[in-house]
Every structure is written in structure tokens, then in C-alpha cells.
Amino acid sequence: MASACSNKMIDVFWHEGMLNHETGKGVFDSGIDPGFLDVLEKHPENSDRIKNMVSILQKGPISPYISWQHGRPAQVNELLSFHAPEYIDELIEADKQGGKMICAGTFLNPGSWDAALLAAGTTLSAMKHILDGHGKLAYALVRPPGHHAQPKQADGYCFLNNAGLAVQLALDSGCKKVTVIDIDVHYGNGTAEGFYRTDKVLTVSLHMNHGSWGPSHPQNGSVGELGEGEGYGYNLNIPLPNGTGDRGYGYAMKELVVPAVHKFEPDMIVLVVGQDSSAFDPNGRQCLTMDGYRDIGRIVHSLANKHSGGQILIVQEGGYHITYSAYCLHAMLEGVLDLPQPLLCDPIAYYPEDEAFAVELIEATRKYHKEAVPFLKGT
């Protein structure tokens, strides 16, 4: 095992201070106590989910492949590479006033701002670790999540766009082109918005077809949201029908994501991962299992070997089933490591997938991309 691990390691960046972001209880993520329920559930984005991710990496069979690295808080000036100063000032003031609900389901409570700074800084440290040549695979195990946070707007449990900050750091450090592959079950609208007008970043999001959910999330994640100006064609949305499972996601990766990345030729890849695309997640309606996550990890590993010298930054987003999210994380990292055999068996997955509808929509998306996206014409 020691010799196998010597060439295959993931540097995991983590800080326990991120557990201090308390999101409360209520009816799912609303924070509402209707007064007639004896048992109120924890907000889905709670610390238990992350505790299990940490522990499975510390104690699970993948542990020999993990090198633990310390996270750090971001400095406020670092946040301005992606976020508007007035938005950051709003968050700082909300923290000083003891916190508030920033938007639906997104609560800035005492301790939340410090946790958000840790999530941002830890992700920046993970990217810098790669850029400085200290490792090729780094995983920012962070919360609160970030991919819905737009330059001027919080959204969907997210305050600061951790992945977006890391992408900008890569560009500022000399990377010519960066690809973001987002497999969270919800559209990575914040990251897309941040790079919507540049051709230096290819943002690809595979998500359930949920549309806009209000003022904080005006984007609908449709195939027609392709970018603007120089960025036209460099935001690729892949909305997948509810119930899409391992084979449907695999088909989308191979038929849509892989050709686009080959054509774009990035020198850095950022994999934005949420385990809320799993078959058992309370916040999604997709049906990935451990096998599906493992296969996605292998595909991204292959893309990185071809284009980015094997360099991949992985950034944690959603994933709200307290136990299965940790299992799916384990499987995905096995795939990114390109391990020859699974290390951990799936304890609960069973889903009789019918991918026919997903394949039909993926084919329609591919046709649309070939017609509408300039850099994909002729692929």
C-alpha cells in the first residue's frame, strides 16, 4: 500500500472552525417553527454532513491516500478579486449586527462569517498549493458552500464563492485557461455569473432542471445561458431530467463535457462537487450512486492528465444526506485517484435506472451546442 500511495495522494485542506457555522432548525431550510411539530429538523447545510466527510477520509479505506493540510481564513482584500466591495461590506455589517437571513434558506448567524472566511481562504490555499507545485490533486473540504454566491449576491446557503476565488487566483497566477466542471445537483449560477463575460474560463454545470428559484437566483440554468461578449459560448449548462442516474450522467460527461474540455484545452481544472446529486439526497431529485461518482472522478482524472498536467482542484459544495454523502465523496476521490478497484462497497444503492429520456435530452443539448457555440462547431 505504501508504494501505491507514494504516487497517488490527495492533499485535503480543512479547518475545524468551519463547523461553527450554525444554520439552525425548522421546516427543512426555512428556519420556520410552525408551532405544531414536535420534532424540527436541522437545516440541511449543517455541520454533521461535513463531520462525516472528514471522518470517512480519516478512518475509511482511502485514508492512506490522504495528506491533511491546514486551512486558513481569507483576508477581506482577497475576496475582492471575485466579489464587489459593497457586497462584502454588507456581509461584514450583518455579522457585526449579530447576523440575519441574507436570502431564503441562507442564514448568517454568529460564527458564520468567520466560517465563510475560512472556507474561502482554505480553498485559496488549496489552489495555491497546486500552483506552487506542491501537489497535483487538492481537495478543499469546506463549508459554507459557495457556488451560488454571485459577485454581488448571496444565494442558496452560499456567501462567498470559494471556487470562483480559486479560479481567479489561478488566472492571476499565470494560468491561461481554466475549466470548471460543476456536478452539484443545483446550477452553479454564481460561478457562471462571475466568469460570464470571459473566454478564459469554461464553466460547465450538470444539474437538475430546477430553473430560477427567486430574486437571489435569477438564472435558470438553461442551455441558452451561454455567456455574453467575449464569454459567449464559454458557459455550458447541461440541465438533466429528474431521476438521471449513473448511466445518464456518464453519457453527459462523455458526449458533452469531454469534447468541450478537449476543444477548450485548459491548463487548470476545477471540479466543483456536491453529493446532492445522489439517489438519497433530500435536496435533489437525481439518482447518482457511488459508482456514478467514481466514474465521474475517473473521467476528470483523464481530462486532467491530458490538459492540465494532472492538476485538479476539487471544491466541496452540497450533499445533505448525512451518511451517503460521505460514501459518495469517498467513491469520487477513488475515481480522481484512478484507483484500479473500488475501496468501499455501496451500502444502500439500488436504482433501476432508465436513462432513455436523459439520453434524448443530452443529444438535443449536443445538437444545440454544435449549432450555437462557436468554439464547438465542427466537434
Q: Report the C-alpha gap between 361 and 248 in whole angstroms.
A: 10
Nearest to 112 by CA among 32, 56, 46, 178: 46
Place of cell 469531454: 258
Would you call 202 helix, strand, or coil by DSSP? strand
Q: Give the CA distances from residue 373 to residues 123, 182, 202, 275, in Å, rounded to whole numbers and listed in that order.
A: 31, 19, 12, 29
Verify whether residue 148 is a known catalytic residue: yes
Contact 252, 238 (CB under 8 A): yes
Place of cell 489561478: 170
Q: Report the C-alpha gap between 227 and 215 in whole angstroms.
A: 20
Q: At what angle do helices 290-307 and 324-336 cross, to 10 degrees?
A: 30
Nearest to 269 by CA among 216, 215, 306, 232: 306
Q: Report the C-alpha gap between 331 and 335 in whole angstroms.
A: 6
Q: Report the C-alpha gap between 107 and 370 in whole angstroms.
A: 41
Q: Report the C-alpha gap between 251 and 135 in whole angstroms.
A: 30
Contact 44, 282 (CB under 8 A): yes
The distance in angstroms from the start CA to the end CA of the chain is 41
**Other CB atoms closer than 10 Å to residue 2's CB: what's the count?**
6
Point out the catalytic residue in the list 43, 83, 147, 148.
148
Side chain identity at residue 342, one-letter code: P
DSSP calls for 21-47? ----EESTTS----SS-S-PEEPSS-H
Would you call 365 helix, strand, or coil by DSSP? helix
Instruction: Report CA torsion sign: 101, 105, 111, 114.
Output: negative
Plot region of 351 (φ>0 → left; ψ -120 to 50 → alpha; else → beta):
beta
Backbone angles phi, psi at 239, to 5 degrees: -75, 125
Please list the active-site residues. 148
